[in-house]
Amino acid sequence: MFDGLTERLSTVFDRLSGRGVLSEKDVEEALREVRVALLEADVALPVVKDFITKAKEAATGEAVIRSIRPADQVVKIVYDGLIEMLGGEEPVPLTIALNPPSVILMAGLQGSGKTTTAAKLALRLSKMDRKKVLMASLDTRRPAAMEQLATLGKQIEVETLPILAGQSATDITRRAMSAAKLGGYDILILDTAGRTTLDEGMMSEAAEIARISQPAETLLVADSLTGQDAVRTAKAFHERLPLTGLILTRADGDGRGGAALSMRAVTGLPIKFLGAGEKVDALDVFDARRVAGRILG
């Protein structure tokens, strides 16, 4: 799997003599290669620095296992470090509240893939988990976004809250909550309004909706292709909203996976899913092993 980095490290280690432990100098040389690999994968610089410090501690003085090449051994240490930084091998499942409806609040910038991802989640919860799901769009400024959710709902056979003109986002939230209660829905997915840039109005509206709806999950949807901007977005949202997890979209176009590592490291939030295409079933449970493999290349 990790041929790219393993090969680079082999070149470093081929120059080294067959000592019994990984010396500080060997490790430093190897980690220089790791640093380049991480930066090439678009991992944020402070995250790279922090990672290298930890990997150095883990690797220095570690006995060279005779049956394993030193290069493979360092790759293993780096791989384990990446998995840890990505939150471990086990995916973090969605939290569902004991008392229905369990609210999932979707937040994110316009264009990040939020509405599509709301439908992907709804499809997954209704088809795989057999939950009764209701979706509601709160994007009162963009009627097209409300229509988009309604269209997606029809396509995946998941109910959407009827659109009523003239209601505020908080009005719609309250209406959606009572409709979900009365209709015996298990899950209510609220698709908040996005803006193209970080915006105080968007943040305070989303925070108010979170206060009213008390979501079991508040998920930030971010475009992995926007790299460091996605990291800044995640940080800004995390400061204003009680986020519980991240969903990274366009993982299908992101061969590097660096945004995932940076966002996880900067926010400490679990990445729950990866969007892997435009189709409504293109949603993968986040798998740290796959992302670590991609980062190591």
Please count the residues of this chain forming the interface with ligand GDP, following the rule CB under 6 A.
18
Residue 91 or 277 having the CB closest to ligand GDP: 277
Q: Rule CB under 6 A: is residue 143 a binding residue for ligand GDP?
A: no
CB of 86 closer than 8 Å to CB of 292: yes
User: Applying CB under 6 A, which of residues 7, 40, 278, 281 lies at the interface with ligand GDP?
Assistant: 278
Q: Rule CB under 6 A: is residue 40 a binding residue for ligand GDP?
A: no
d(CA 247, CA 272): 6
Q: Rule CB under 6 A: is residue 277 a binding residue for ligand GDP?
A: yes
Q: Rule CB under 6 A: is residue 113 a binding residue for ligand GDP?
A: yes
CB of 136 closer than 8 Å to CB of 161: yes
CB of 74 closer than 8 Å to CB of 81: no
User: Applying CB under 6 A, which of residues 249, 257, 258, 260 lies at the interface with ligand GDP?
Assistant: 249
User: Applying CB under 6 A, which of residues 252, 270, 284, 293 lies at the interface with ligand GDP?
Assistant: 252
User: Applying CB under 6 A, which of residues 46, 61, 111, 201 lies at the interface with ligand GDP?
Assistant: 111
Q: Rule CB under 6 A: is residue 112 a binding residue for ligand GDP?
A: yes
CA distances from 127 to 7, 101, 157, 186, 209 (A): 44, 17, 10, 13, 27
| Sequence letter at residue 119 | A
74: its two tokens: 């360092």
Q: Give the number of C-alpha atoms closer than 13 A to the C-alpha of residue 25, restricted to the C-beta side.
A: 4
Q: Rule CB under 6 A: is residue 131 a binding residue for ligand GDP?
A: no
By CB under 6 A, what part of segment 168-207 binds ligand GDP? 194
Instruction: Dihedral sign for Cα 37, 43, 45, 51, please.
Output: negative
d(CA 245, CA 78): 25
Nearest CA-CA partner of 49 in 62, 67, 32, 63: 32
Q: Which stretch binds ligand GDP (CB under 6 A): 2-10, 61-69, 89-97, 249-257?
A: 249-257
Residue 101 or 275 having the CB closest to ligand GDP: 275
d(CA 106, CA 217): 8
Burial class from Cβ neighbours inside 10 Å (0-12, 13-18, 19+) for residue 253 reads exposed
By CB under 6 A, what part of segment 206-245 binds ligand GDP? none
d(CA 142, CA 147): 9
- CB of residue 155 to ligand GDP, shortest distance in Å: 12
User: Applying CB under 6 A, which of residues 10, 102, 115, 267 lies at the interface with ligand GDP?
Assistant: 115
Q: Which stretch binds ligand GDP (CB under 6 A): 56-64, 198-206, 228-236, 270-278?
A: 270-278
Q: Please give the annotated binding residues for GTP, written as ranges.
A: 108-115, 191-195, 249-252
Residue 8 or 250 having the CB closest to ligand GDP: 250
Q: Rule CB under 6 A: is residue 114 a binding residue for ligand GDP?
A: yes
| Sequence letter at residue 236 | A
Task: List contacts with ligand GDP (CB under 6 A).
Answer: 108, 110-116, 194, 249-250, 252-253, 275-278, 282
